Homo-oligomer: A and B are copies of this chain.
Amino acid sequence: MRPQPAFVLIRPQMGENIGAAARAMANFGLERMRLVAPRDGWPNPAAVAMASGAGRLLDAAQVFDDTAGSIADCEYVYATTARPRELTKPVLSPQAAMQDAARRIAQGQRVAVLFGPERAGMENDDISRANAIITVPVNPDFPSLNLAQCVLLTGYEWRLATEEVIPERTQMQGDWANQSEIEALSQHYEDRMEDAGFFFPDHKAASMKLNLRNLWSRMPLTRADVQMLHGIMRQMVRWKDRP
């Protein structure tokens, strides 16, 4: 397992939410779950049912009686909370926090992220143990993230901070057409439309040809696209010539 933060669920209530949190973690390659005093004891069949493929995280989850025990081995701890309280404490976006966590972990620190119980949220006593707070920038008029969603967004930012994500690529079937192929296509259409009397009236012909040529150049065409466009034009000519 690659070095990574532990995600600590504090006094979680519903087993389903523990299972959903495990799945959310697994989506982003996170495997170190810790539980503090789960309400319905442990193991929890409802959690296992919900976790489906992520059951391995639950098997490996460490269970603690209290928050202090769950983070005893950690050098740096973040607490996620929607409602920062009356404690002087750094407050980070999920992105800034997971970038910070990645740097700390690369330096050999052990790091944990605390998630409070459903509804009630985290108690001040738990928050006071954390070095920093993570707050997801939700719409202040409608903040309704549940436990698994908060785990999901934090895990997502962990992955962005630690895996190279290619922001933009083009999925290809075959190859892009090269300039000589685009040129031949352009000429083919221009010649046939010339034959068809499309460039009318005369004084507009030059600008019509320019615009048609520009259209082909602007389009991201593959070789197969170019062949299909040639075929369409040939077929139209054949159709016209049909007796």
Contacts and interface: CB of A to CB of B under 8 A. Distances in A.
A7 interface: no
Given A170-B89, A222-B88, A156 B153 contact: yes
A27 B143 contact: yes
A54 to B, nearest CB: 7
Contacts of A90: 168-171
What copy number does this chain have within its complex? 2
Interface residues of A, number: 49
A126 to B, nearest CB: 16
A144 B53 CA distance: 9
A72 to B, nearest CB: 22
A88 B90 CA distance: 45
A137 B152 contact: no
A199 interface: no
A169 B91 contact: yes
Contacts of A136: 156
